[in-house]
Amino acid sequence: MSRFFATGTDSESETSSEEEHVVRAPAPVYTFSDDEEETKRVVRSMKEKRYEELEGFIHSIRNHRKIKDFSSALASFEELQRAYTRASSVIQKEENGIAPRFFIRALVELEDWVTSAWNDRESRKAMSKGNSKALTSLRQKLRKYTKEFDSEIVKFRDNPDLPDDDEERKEEPSSDESDEEEKVKEKPKVRRSPEPQRRPAPQEDESSDSMDWGSSSSESSSSSDDETRGAATLRERFLKRATERDDDEEGDRRRARRERRDRVGKVSKKDQVDDGGEWETVRKGAATSDKPKMFAKDSDIDAALVVKKLGEVSAARGRKRTDRRAQLELLHELRTVAAQHNLGDALQLKLRAATVAALFDYNPKVSDAMKPEYWSRLVENVDHMVTILLAHEDMMLSESITEETEQLVTAPFQVRGSLLIALERLDDEFTKLLKECDPHSNEYVERLKDEVRVSALIDRVCQVVERDGTPQEICRAYLRKIDHLYYKFDPRAVKKDQPPSEETSIKKMEKFCKYIYANDESDRLRTRAILSHIYHHALHDNWFQARDLLLMSHLQENVQHSDPSTQILYNRTMANLGLCAFRRGNVKEAHGCLAELMMTGKPKELLAQGLLPQRQHERSKEQEKIEKQRQMPFHMHINLELLECVYLVSAMLIEIPYMAAHEFDARRRMISKTFYQNLRASERQALVGPPESMREHAVAAARAMRRGDWRACLNFIVNEKMNAKVWDLMVGADNVRAMLGRLIREESLRTYLFTYAHVYASLSLRSMADMFEMPRQRVHSLVSKMIINEELLASLDDPSECAILHRSEPTRMQALALQLADKVGNLVDSNERIFEKQGSFFQRGGAPRGEGRQRDRPREGWGRRQRNRRRDDDRTHED
């Protein structure tokens, strides 16, 4: 609002400024955002902005109506339509989708005018060509458009005299200032029921005024010398602001008077309206920005007085025109005063709590992070609160204590407030701060150093909460702690020879999580605790514990019903579980864990590690904002390349032998679609160059494995490039590489047997062991397993240590014949199904005989296939 004064329209009265301005220059709504930035920016809600825009267009339509300029009216109407669609989301939210009344009124008026103009044939003939054309199209467009608001228009026509925003807005300039102020505060309510609302506002002001006057009358008489000092600081402030206006003309006395009122906390509206001169000064320094004296010098300062002051200061909280910085300073001053007069720690605590609240208020936008310095102050303040609380056994800080039951002077102290909420918000703000800065900059590192402070603070808060919190509160505090613990790798925990007394993070997690499991009443905390616990176990290679916890919690079944952030945590947990399974050599499980994440092709989004541009539909602003809020800070990210590599390698180890075994199988299923596509894409290429990226390496390895060339496969998977990119990122990289070597050999052997068994009459186990550089025992075991599972039609000849292959692997011809048989079988099946479906149709024609048997069979087969698939799915998760 102060922008007006910057442009020098000082004769204007403040209240009328905003609306009048908009009315006069309707189109360039956005243009003045520039001067807004120069001066102190007033943040208006989205709703206000949109409504102003709408009103602007309505007003211009009205103007065009007066001069009967149809073509301009048409243009404005189109603008209005567009503006309304823009505002529709706000309307959806604020008004439940009901179009605001002033908008309907405008539509009705416009309609009336257009119909009358249309009916007046005489003048229509007299119209210019352009105008009459515009009238026609306006009429059509309007008709079409009003259809959408039919019901509302009918309602409006029934009762057109009800006051609406528009009227209210017209009245506003004449109404006094306090009204405006109240409106700002309670805008949503005003829109719906302006009449009853207007009544209490002045009353409230009056009453508070009179009360304030009463309380401060004693000071005002003796405050002459404070006033001069206050004026001096005020002047300094003005000078610093470098405003062009010279306000020295203002009489000291007058200023003092205003100041005194400011100090009282409320600006008396009547005075304001009366002497317009004072207005400007208020604007200049922003309503409560000046630093008033707290108390008279010789007055007795005691706790009650300070609390009263505090009440006054915080009463201004959340108002549009309160200067938040000034509030902070006031609170700070109050604190020093309280400290000087030794008013006790309880009061200090209360003041600190108020400061914390004010600091949170300082940042008007919820979605944006607060400034680091303010955050830092926040930490200090909360820290002080904790110190005070810890120092006094008999001090309680709780939300359940009301203002009336507070006990600040005598022990046991009772203070209203919540440490936990402060902590939670502080932590959230910290995450926001991290997300705001570039993860690759030094700034991020600097910010991240604060994590230690936050963790320490959480620890201390836990102590307090453990002392006098309810179990649920303790759970919440613990969960915060877990949140800061679960993604960190503790090298002590994986050491074999750790002393049992050592507090590893695993033990800590165990302690906190167990408490939450036992005491949590809301399922959400427990779910999050379990997920974090699994994550932590997986991080430290405790595969079995992690797996059992996951299976026993039955989270897989119902996680899709939980909130997005829990689902993200679930995804992160599954990713880590997959990595853990892989490190432990459980390839199948690793694949099962990761498949869900990788199948969609957007693990980045699923893990909340960045937004992908969407092709089909644009995100709305809000949605983008929400999604941005969900993102993980960078230091908690999981390496996506590592994830993908692990996934591809496990898919390779499973898929390639499977492909080899089922080469002629008509009903072969793909185990991993993503991997398959990659492989296909590479096979389609005429010329394959040496692999560059991780993905190419994986595919090249897969192709080598298909030939049974384990050495090449291993070289593609484990080499310097891949080491640097992937394997070295793992804990126990050497173990992982050894495991890979072993698995690749085994699976290559299996693939080799599947692929080339038909060209052998017998295979010596010994030579196979040599070929694949495996112990003979292992080869024997593998071959035996294949024979038992009937994957390899052979039997061992013990004395010569050979596998004698039975000539029953189908030849190409036979395989094709088998395939054909399968397909024909499918055909018969589907015939029967069709027949069954039409059965009812045939039945109408009579002759239901002999059908029962036929109907049962295909259905049974169908059910079995489905059941099998489900079992397969289960297996991938569970074993």
Partner 1 sequence: MSYSKFDLTFKIGQYLDRHLVFPLLEFLAAKETYDQSELLQAKLEILSKTNMIDYVIDIRKMLYPDEDTPEEIKSRRGVVLSQLQELQDAVEPVLRLMQRDDVMKTVETMRDPKTLINYLTTNKEFEFRIDMIDSMYRLAKYRYECGNYVESASYLYFCQLVMSPTEKNYLPVLWGKLASEILVQNWDGALDDLNKLREFIDNGAGGATATNMQALQQRTWLVHWSLFVFFNHAKGRDLIIETFLYRPLYLNAIQTMCPHILRYLATAVIINRSRRNALKDLVKVIQQEAYTYRDPITEFIEHLYVNFDFEAARRKLNQCQAVLSTDFFLIACLEEFVENARLMIFETFCRIHQVISIGMLAENLSMQPEEAECWIVNLIRNARLDAKIDSKLGHVVMGAQPLSPYQQLVERIDSLSVRSEALTSLVERKQKVRTDIRWGGQEF
Residues that bind partner 1 in the complex, under the rule CB under 8 A: 544, 552, 777, 780-781, 784-785, 787-788, 793, 795-799, 804, 806, 808-811, 814-815, 817-818, 821-822, 824-825, 828, 831-832, 835, 842, 845-847, 849-851, 854, 879
In the bound state with partner 1, the residue whose beta carbon lies nearer, of 202 and 585, is: 585
Cβ atoms within 10 A of the Cβ of 80, count? 24
In the bound state with partner 1, the residue whose beta carbon lies nearer, of 24 and 853, is: 853
In the bound state with partner 1, the residue whose beta carbon lies nearer, of 688 and 820, is: 820
Residue 252 Cα distances to 162, 258, 283, angstroms: 48, 10, 17
CB of 820 to partner 1, least distance (A): 9
CB of 799 to partner 1, least distance (A): 5
- 3-class secondary structure, 416: strand
Quick one: which of 478, 516, 350 has its CA closest to 418? 350
CB of 304 to partner 1, least distance (A): 52
CB of 778 to partner 1, least distance (A): 9
CB of 560 to partner 1, least distance (A): 24
The token pair at 417 is 């407030």
In the bound state with partner 1, the residue whose beta carbon lies nearer, of 75 and 804, is: 804
CB of 495 to partner 1, least distance (A): 19
CB of 539 to partner 1, least distance (A): 18
How much of the chain is in helix, strand and coil states, percent to nearest 5? 70, 0, 25
Partnered with residue 803 across adjacent β-strands are: 763, 796
Cβ atoms within 10 A of the Cβ of 814, count? 12
Residue 253 Cα distances to 226, 231, 232, 258, angstroms: 12, 10, 13, 9
In the bound state with partner 1, the residue whose beta carbon lies nearer, of 405 and 840, is: 840
Burial per residue of 775-784, b for 16 or more beta-carbon CB atoms within 10 angstroms, e otherwise: eeeebbebbe
Cβ–Cβ under 8 Å, residues 572 and 550: no
CB of 646 to partner 1, least distance (A): 22
In the bound state with partner 1, the residue whose beta carbon lies nearer, of 549 and 736, is: 549
Cβ atoms within 10 A of the Cβ of 591, count? 27
CB of 595 to partner 1, least distance (A): 20
> What single DSSP character describes residue 554?
T
In the bound state with partner 1, the residue whose beta carbon lies nearer, of 162 and 828, is: 828
The token pair at 541 is 């290679």
> What single DSSP character describes residue 560?
G
In the bound state with partner 1, the residue whose beta carbon lies nearer, of 251 and 863, is: 863
Residues near 601 by beta carbon (within 8 Å), at least 6 away in sequence: 674
In the bound state with partner 1, the residue whose beta carbon lies nearer, of 552 and 686, is: 552
CB of 847 to partner 1, least distance (A): 4
Rounded to whole angstroms, the Cα distance separating 182 from 177 reads 9
In the bound state with partner 1, the residue whose beta carbon lies nearer, of 385 and 805, is: 805
Residue 350 Cα distances to 363, 378, 444, 458, 844, angstroms: 21, 14, 33, 20, 83
Residue 273 Cα distances to 545, 795, 831, angstroms: 73, 106, 90
Rounded to whole angstroms, the Cα distance separating 475 from 511 reads 11
In the bound state with partner 1, the residue whose beta carbon lies nearer, of 468 and 832, is: 832
Q: What's the gap between Cα 101 and its chain centre?
A: 34
CB of 713 to partner 1, least distance (A): 24
Cβ–Cβ under 8 Å, residues 782 and 792: no
The token pair at 221 is 């008489």
Residues near 687 by beta carbon (within 8 Å), at least 6 away in sequence: none
